[in-house]
Structure 1
Amino acid sequence: MDVSILAEYIWVFFVLVALEGILSADNAVVMAVIVQKLPHDKQRKALFYGLVGAFVFRFIALFLISFLVKIWEIQAIGAIYLLYLAIKHMVDLKRGKNEEHKNLAENEKPVSFWGTVMRVELTDIAFALDSMLAAAALAMTLPDLGDFNIGGMNGGQFIVMFLGGLAGLIVIRFAATQVVKLLERYPTLETAAFLIVGWVGVKLGVYTLAHPSVGILPEDFPDSTAWKLTFWAVMLIIGIGGYIIARKKEKDQQKETLSSKSDDQK
């Protein structure tokens, strides 16, 4: 085997892992929000089972990528669902339901574990199309490795794309777990998380509107520099702004606690 070809494959593998992580950074936040209402000991299991199911889908989808890219309805449903989650949270927050029902949490209808797993899977499927297309385009630039084909492409190209996707899902799993921990430490960060969920819904909506079968937006708009800069700038503003506000509220609560303790001692 040519060492230069092997080196090229190794390089593309790491690029695919990084690409999956970057394209799915918003995916991790969405998944963390979805599993957040489960008991703490079931959150990681839900992420694990959900991503295993999503991985099986991705493996099958690699064989069917040319067909799946035509199904714009997948991303449309994902966009509607994420916007629904964000809007519902904001409406509940405005009505004061979050505060009113904190003490009644034990009486609330328990969240379905397998229902949550299914939502994690469906969310990843909605996100998967753009990352899989980008991965396929990158893998196809590699020289052929081996004299066999899988799913209509060279076996070496398919394998590096498959392994890159697998490693990328592990990155998503880890990132989502860290987001869950952040939400537990800073409960007020939840609103920022839901704003990100809504903004990600807008992202999927843009992909839907730019699909050739819909044609409301130019087909190349989702990949334009202007849109990408706008999307990530808003993501960073929401994330950093939410974190700063959450830290400030935590410090204020600590001051109040210390002040009340001081008053009690007097």
Structure 2
Amino acid sequence: MLEVPLWLWGTFAATVVVSLAIDLLAHRTAHVIGFKEAALWSGLWVSLALAFGGLVFLVLGSTAGTEYTTAWLLEKSLSVDNLFVFAVIFGYFKVPRAYQHRVLFYGVIGALVFRGIFLSLGVAVVTRFTAVLFVFAAVLFYSAYKLVKDEQDTFDPGKSFAVRLLRKVVPVRDEYAGTKFFVKEAGKRVATPLLAVVAAIEAADLIFAVDSVPAVLAVSDDAFVVYTSNAFAILGLRALYFLLAGLLDRFHYLSKGLAVILAFIGVKLIFQASHKMISPSVPEIPSPVSLAVIVVVLAFSVVLSIRRPPDAKEDEPSRSSDGPHP
């Protein structure tokens, strides 16, 4: 495990808090996020993540820096699939575009908390039970198979556990009330659909953690590296959503590229576990190789999607819904 100085943890925490505060102030008035604004914020988040990665290189060394960059890029690429689910949720609940950033803001805060818990548990389990890496590899192989066969689990926002639990705890009205999560009706406090949307977003992140956590633990088993890389990838997810809104179905080969990446990470896990449990002679796949594979596969998937656009039928959004309000 890396000996991470306390000030580096403090720098990370301060960067996240200040960044979120600035983001919230910049979007304190609900408005539609356009392409130009989303591009500027995306550039800011990417620059911030890479700058912190440079700091990791300088303080913790090239190995830790490469692992951080690889884990960040891996999580960034896997999170693209989250965007499709966000589109489904927003379509199902008919969320006005001006309110979507506020929903994703609180979704990011929840994701930072839950992902921190899952990664901490994952690191603890991997440290004590190396054999669990074989289980993680199987999970990644299965996820890759579903992506190749286009057999991803359908996500019904209205039936998610979080939304159903919310409805049991508090009544949910049908109409929005600006960016408010609660209003009073007949002297009683009721939730607006916006709170149900946040619950659905959080439930979706829990589902994606099933793939994300094993994948990033294949890159590093250090808590600092895996959490900071995940955090910076999650922070930029909102801007990425608005940047790619309306273009998601154009990158129709991206899911196949993600399948290749997940399968490769699964193989990396098997080699890693075999090296530790069976024989030191079994080679491990170095992080620079993993980083190169992820970059090449993502670039090839995007270029191929642009050069071979989907036909009319494939171009129809297949993951969105105009379902009813809660």
TM-score bracket, shorter-length normalisation: 0.5 to 0.7
Gaps of 5+ in 1: 1-5, 91-107, 137-160, 254-266
The one-letter code of the counterpart of 1:77 is: V
The one-letter code of the counterpart of 1:118 is: L
- 2:241 aligned residue: 180
- 2:29 aligned residue: none
| RMSD across aligned positions (CA) | 4.1
Of the candidates 86, 96, 116, which is equivalent to residue 204 of structure 2?
Answer: 116
Secondary structure of the residue that 2:58 maps to in structure 1? Answer: helix
Secondary structure of the residue that 2:149 maps to in structure 1? Answer: helix
The one-letter code of the counterpart of 1:117 is: D
Q: Looking at CA atoms only, which structure, 1 or 2, has the larger radius of gyration? A: 1
Q: What's the offset of the Cα at 1:83?
A: 2.8
- Separation of aligned partners in 2, 1:89 and 1:176: 24
Does 1:232 find its partner at 2:295? yes
CA pair 205-169 structure 1, distance change in 2 beyond 3 A = closer
Of the candidates 128, 146, 151, which is equivalent to residue 216 of structure 2?
Answer: 128
- 2:285 aligned residue: 222
Of the candidates 4, 20, 27, which is equivalent to residue 68 of structure 2?
Answer: 20
- 2:230 aligned residue: 169
Of the candidates 147, 159, 163, which is equivalent to residue 85 of structure 1?
Answer: 147
**Contact 2:137/2:269, CA 8 A, preserved across alignment:** yes
Q: What's the offset of the Cα at 1:49?
A: 2.5
- 1:67 aligned residue: 128
Does 1:50 find its partner at 2:111? yes
- Separation of aligned partners in 2, 1:9 and 1:225: 15
With normalisation by structure 1, the TM-score equals 0.56
CA pair 184-18 structure 1, distance change in 2 beyond 3 A = farther
Residues 191-223 of structure 1: CA distance to partner in whole angstroms, max 9, x if unpaired?
1331222112212331244231898xx842533
Q: What's the offset of the Cα at 1:233?
A: 2.2
The one-letter code of the counterpart of 1:205 is: G
- Separation of aligned partners in 2, 1:29 and 1:224: 16
Of the candidates 234, 255, 259, which is equivalent to residue 198 of structure 1?
Answer: 259
Q: What's the offset of the Cα at 1:67?
A: 1.7
- Separation of aligned partners in 2, 1:196 and 1:88: 12
**Contact 1:80/1:201, CA 8 A, preserved across alignment:** no
With normalisation by structure 2, the TM-score equals 0.48
- Separation of aligned partners in 1, 2:294 and 2:57: 30
- Separation of aligned partners in 2, 1:111 and 1:184: 24
- 1:36 aligned residue: 84
Range that drifts further, 110-119 or 219-228: 219-228
If each structure's helix is expressed as a fraction of its own residues, which one has the higher value?
A: 1
Residues 2-27 of structure 1: CA distance to partner in whole angstroms, max 9, x if unpaired?
xxxx9998823596466324323132
- Separation of aligned partners in 1, 2:119 and 2:157: 33
- Separation of aligned partners in 2, 1:244 and 1:120: 29
Q: What's the offset of the Cα at 1:173?
A: 0.8
Secondary structure of the residue that 1:222 maps to in structure 2? Answer: coil
The one-letter code of the counterpart of 2:58 is: W
Q: What's the offset of the Cα at 1:53?
A: 1.3
Q: What's the offset of the Cα at 1:84?
A: 0.7
CA pair 226-126 structure 1, distance change in 2 beyond 3 A = closer
Which structure 2 residues correspond to residues 240-259 of structure 1 after superposition, within 5 A? 240-243=303-306
CA pair 86-9 structure 1, distance change in 2 beyond 3 A = closer
Matched residues, number: 199
Secondary structure of the residue that 2:248 maps to in structure 1? Answer: coil
Identity percentage over the alignment?
8
